[in-house]
Structure 1
Amino acid sequence: MSGVYRRHWPGDAGRPALALHCMLASGSYWGPISERLEGRIDLQGFDMPGHGRSDPWNPGPDDPDYHSAVTRLAASFINRPLDLIGHSMGATVALRIAIAAPEAVRSLTLIEPVLFAAVPGAAQAQPEMQIEQLLAEGREEDATRGFLAAWGSQGYDDLSERMQVQMRARIRLVAECTPTLAGDRPRILREDGLESIDAPVLLISGGDSPRVIHEIADALAARLPDVGRATVPDAGHMLPITHPDEVAGLIGVNLDRA
C-alpha cells in the first residue's frame, strides 16, 4: 500500500522488532520507548493509514476492511522471526499476526489489547459501541469527545483546534474496526488459536484503565501457553506515552524471556 509513512529506530540488527500504535495516534510515540531500550532491538513501525504522516484511508471497492489492511501492512515488515509489540488496536493486530503465523514471532508484548469480543457482556458498554450511532446522526464531535474521555491521555477540550480537527477526521476509522474488535470478524478467538502461540507473551495494563481492559487481559491470559502479566500503577490506556520508562522496562523483561 502506497502512502504509508515508515519509521525506524536502529538497534541490534540481529534482533528485529515491530511496534504497532493505537487508533487516533501515530507511530511516533515508540521513539521514546526505543530510546529507553538502548539499541537492544532494531525497531520498525509505521503510521497506520489515515494517521500521522500516512495518507488518508480511501479504500476501493475491492480493498479489505481497515483492520485487515493494517494487518497486511504489518505482516509486510516480517521476513524473519521478530519481537512484536502492539498497543490498543495495534495489539489486536499483533495478536492476529501471532495466531496466523506463530513461527514469525519471537516474543509478543500486548499493551492493553482492545479485543472486546473476549468479554462480550462488557463490550456493549464501551464507547466504540456508540460511535456508529453518533456518526450516523452527524455528531462527529460527540463521538470523538466520548472516545477520548475513555481512551485518550487528554480530553477533547484540552486539545488544540488543529488536533481536534484531526481527531474528528479519524474517528470513523474507530467505528470501522468495531466488527473486528467487538465481533471478532477475523476469528482471533477461534478454537486453538491463542493456544498455538508458543512465544512468550506479556500483557501490560494500566492500573487506572477501564475495567474491561483487565477483563480482556484475564480472558486472553487464561488461554495463552506462556504468558506474563504486568500492571503499571497510576497509568491509563495511553501508558506508552505517559509512562515510557515503565513500559520500556516491561518490554525489556519480555525480550529477556525470548
Structure 2
Amino acid sequence: MTDPTTLFSRSFGHGPRTVLALHCTIAHSGAWRGVATAMEDEITLRAPDMFSHGRSPDWDETDDFPDLMNRAIGHLLDRPADVVGHSFGALLALRLAVERPHLVRSLTLIEPVFFAIAMQDAPEDIAHERETMRPVNAALAAGDRALAARLFNRAWGDGATRWPALRQETRAAMTRGIHVLPASHAAIYDDRAGLLRPGRLPSLNMPVMLLRGGKSASIMTTVVAGLARRIPHSETRVVEGAGHMLPITHPKDTASHLRRQFARGAEPPRA
C-alpha cells in the first residue's frame, strides 16, 4: 500500500495567508509557481505533488487513487487554509471541503472536472467529452501510456505547447502520471464519494468561487453552472481568453480573482 504521509509538497511565497493548492492530472506542484509569484507577499502557498507526479512516490495501484489522495491531503492540514484546486485537483478540494469543512477557510474550484454534474444536467455534453477521450482511453487500454499522455495533453492542454516541443523530461513526467486517469473515473463521472447526495453541497458555508476559462470546453460551463446551482452563495467568475489550463496560462488573472475570493473569507491568523 502507498503510504499517504509520503506525499511530497513544496511552499511558495512568504505572505500571512496559508493556501493549499492542488494541481491537475499529469502536472505537478510547480504549476502554481506563476500564481504564487504574483501573490508572494500575500500568501504562503503549499502545493503537493499527487502520487505518480512530480517528486511524490509512485502510486502502487492497490489503493483507490482518489481515496488515497484524500487521506494524503488531510495529513497536510492541521488548521484552516484557503483551498484551491484545478481540474481533478478541484474535485479533490471539493471533497475535502464537504468532508472536513473545518479545515477549509475558503474554497476555489478552477475548471473542476466533476462530470457527474453533467451526467445529471446535460448528458449531451458527456457524450461529446467521451468521444474526445475515446482515443486516450484506447491508448491506455492498449498499454501505450506515452500515446495516452500525448493525446490527453492535446485534448486538455489548450494546445499551448505541442508534444514534440515539450522537453523530454516533461513528456516522461506526463507519461508517468497518466495511469491515474482511469483510476479517477469513478470519482469524476460516478460521484463515488457521494458529493451529490442530498444536503452535502448545500451545506458548504465557506466562501466558494467557481473559476473557468472563457474558451474552455462547453462541459466546463455545464459543470460550473451546475455547481453554482447546488452551492448556495457561491460566486462564478470567468477569465476571458483562457482555456482549461488558466492557472498556468493566466496566472496574474487567476491571482486577481483569488485576491477577491480571499477578501470574502475570514482573516488569516496573525503571527
Instruction: Mark yes or no: TM-score above 0.5.
Output: yes
Deviation at 1:234, TM superposition (A): 0.9
The alignment partner of 2:263 has SS state of: helix
Q: Distance in 2 between matches of 1:196 and 1:256?
A: 21
The equivalent residue for 1:135 is 140
The equivalent residue for 1:211 is 218
Contact 1:131 1:175 in 2 (8 A): no
The equivalent residue for 1:71 is 70
The equivalent residue for 2:149 is 144
Task: Give the superposed CA RMSD.
Answer: 1.8
Q: Deviations over 1:198-220 (max 9, x none)?
A: 01111110111111011100000
Q: Deviations over 1:82-120 (max 9, x none)?
A: 111110110000000111122321111110000011001
The equivalent residue for 1:178 is 185
Contact 1:16 1:42 in 2 (8 A): yes
Contact 1:144 1:156 in 2 (8 A): no
Q: Deviations over 1:8-43 (max 9, x none)?
A: 124344x32211011100011222212212332332
Unaligned runs of 5+ in 2: 266-271
The equivalent residue for 2:269 is none
Report the identity percentage. Answer: 35
Question: Number of matched residues?
Answer: 254
Amino acid across the alignment from 1:90:
G
Q: Distance in 1 between matches of 2:169 and 2:14?
A: 34
The equivalent residue for 1:247 is 254
Identify if the C-alpha distance between structure 1 residues 130 and 98 changes in structure 2 by more than 3 Å, giving closer, same or farther.
farther
Amino acid across the alignment from 1:31:
R
Amino acid across the alignment from 1:236:
G
Q: Distance in 2 between matches of 1:204 and 1:16?
A: 20
The alignment partner of 1:11 has SS state of: coil
Contact 2:202 2:232 in 1 (8 A): yes
Q: Deviations over 1:211-255 (max 9, x none)?
A: 101110000000111211111111111111110000011011100
1:92-131 correspondence runs (5 A): 92-120=91-119, 121=123, 122-126=125-129, 127-128=132-133, 131=136
The equivalent residue for 2:264 is 257
Contact 1:134 1:142 in 2 (8 A): yes
Deviation at 1:129, TM superposition (A): 5.8
Deviation at 1:77, TM superposition (A): 1.6
Q: TM-score, normalised by structure 1?
A: 0.91
Q: Distance in 2 between matches of 1:192 and 1:33?
A: 33
The alignment partner of 1:167 has SS state of: helix
Larger deviation, residues 110-119 vs 2-11? 2-11
Q: Determine whether 1:20 maps to 2:27.
A: no
Contact 2:5 2:75 in 1 (8 A): no
Q: Distance in 2 between matches of 1:203 and 1:216?
A: 10
Amino acid across the alignment from 2:75:
S
Deviation at 1:145, TM superposition (A): 2.8
Deviation at 1:2, TM superposition (A): 4.9
Contact 2:117 2:226 in 1 (8 A): yes
Deviation at 1:130, TM superposition (A): 5.4
The alignment partner of 1:119 has SS state of: helix
The alignment partner of 2:179 has SS state of: helix
Q: TM-score, normalised by structure 2?
A: 0.87
Q: Distance in 2 between matches of 1:36 and 1:108?
A: 19
Deviation at 1:170, TM superposition (A): 1.9
The alignment partner of 1:85 has SS state of: strand
Contact 2:53 2:176 in 1 (8 A): no
